[in-house]
Every structure is written in C-alpha cells, then in structure tokens.
Amino acid sequence: MTLLTKLAQDLSACTICKDRFAATATEHAPRPVVWFETGARILIAGQAPGLRVHASGKPFTDPSGDRLRDWMGVDEATFYDKARVAILPMAFCFPGYDAKGSDLPPPPVCAKTWRAPLLETLGDVKLALLVGGYAQKWHLKEKTGVTDIVKRWRDFGPYAIPLPHPSWRNTAWLKKNPWFEKELLPVLRLRVQKALL
C-alpha cells in the first residue's frame, strides 16, 4: 500500500468535524469526498463539496462541474480519471449551510490536517487549478480578493492558474469580466491539454 493510498483511507474515515456538522441546519454526518490517485497530472484545488456532491460522493456532480469541465475543455471521462486529475478541495466534506442558505466556509482544520501530507505525496502534478478564494489564499499566499488574483493569473507562472468558482452565482461576475473568457480560458485549455500528455 502506498502512502497516498493510506492517506486516502484515513481521510475517508475522518470524522474530525462531526460535532460541527451536527450543529448545522442540515445536521449531517461527515462524508469526505476523496478523489485522487498517485500520478495525477492536474490538481483541482477547490473550496468544499456542496450538498449534491455530499449525496453523490463524487466531486463536481452539479452545474458547477459542467462549467468547470467546459472551462478546462475536457470531457467527463478525462475529468473523473483519478490517475490524471486529482481533486483536493480545501475541505473534503460538505460544511453545511449558513442562515441565508449559502454554503459555510471550509473548516480550516481540514486543510491543517490533510493538505500538506496529501500534496507532498500526490506526485508529479503539472498544473494546479486554484478554484475560488480559499484555495488561492492557501496556495498562493495572497491576501487580496478573487477578482484581483484571477486578473493577475499570468503572475503565477505555468504551474498555477487561479479561477473563480464555476458556480451559477458567479454568472454576473463572468459577464462583468469578459477578459476571463477571451484571454484566460484559451490559455487554460492549452495548459490542461499539455499537462495531460
């Protein structure tokens, strides 16, 4: 058994946030969504699973996933090939909803517990897609907001590309920032294809 396989097994059994989740409106139990294998070429670092993903046990099984796959220029088979694409959100379980019905932020204890050992053992990742502010702040050590970070996507070299969250809630953001589709997406698709070779 490889170290990464052992980490995946331990993560799948994690209940560190059990009391936190039981106190949310959904009163749900932890269900870590584990989606990676040794040898993955692309890392998708997102926020945390939503309620649909909590139910399915498979990341991005929602309209956000459809949009992200479109941005990347890949089909579902490629996206869900764990040997090619690793999905390591900042928290592996659905965090629950706040009073307004929005997803709660990823509990910091998850990244503190799992992120460093997983990234160290993941392997030869060629491209990291940093989806949303939580992932961008952790990976890039940036303190500004998502719009500023994504606007400066060229500053982060060929290895990392910051992206807004592909949620429907960001449709207005995409309309206000047409440079994202015109300038960033073509480069993203090229880098994804190169990383998958």
Residue 31: is its pLDDT beyond 90?
A: yes
Mean pLDDT along residues 110-138 = 95
Q: What pLDDT sits at residue 134?
A: 96
Q: What pLDDT sits at residue 124?
A: 86
Calculate the CA 80 to chain-centre distance.
13
As a whole number, the mean pLDDT across the chain is 95
Q: Which H/E stretch holds residue 151?
A: helix 146-151
Q: Do 53 and 42 form a contact (C-beta atoms < 8 A)?
A: no
Q: Do 47 and 106 form a contact (C-beta atoms < 8 A)?
A: yes
Number of domains present in the structure of the chain: 1
Q: CA–CA separation, 134 vs 48, rounded Å?
A: 10
Q: Helix, strand or coil for residue 42?
A: strand
Mean pLDDT along residues 15-25 = 95
Q: CA–CA separation, 157 vs 160, rounded Å?
A: 6
Residue 116: is its pLDDT beyond 90?
A: yes
pLDDT per residue as tens digits for the range 43-102: 999 999 999 999 999 999 999 999 999 999 999 999 999 999 999 999 999 999 988 888
Written as six digits, the tokens of 143 are 């303190």
Mean pLDDT along residues 115-132 = 94
Residue 103: is its pLDDT beyond 90?
A: no
Q: What pLDDT sits at residue 33?
A: 97
Mean pLDDT along residues 19-46 = 95
Residue 194 banded pLDDT, cuts 50, 70, 90: very high
Q: CA–CA separation, 42 vs 94, rounded Å?
A: 23
Q: Helix, strand or coil for residue 46?
A: coil
Total-model pTM: 0.95
Q: What is the CATH number of the domain that holds 156?
A: 3.40.470.10
Domain housing 81: 3-196
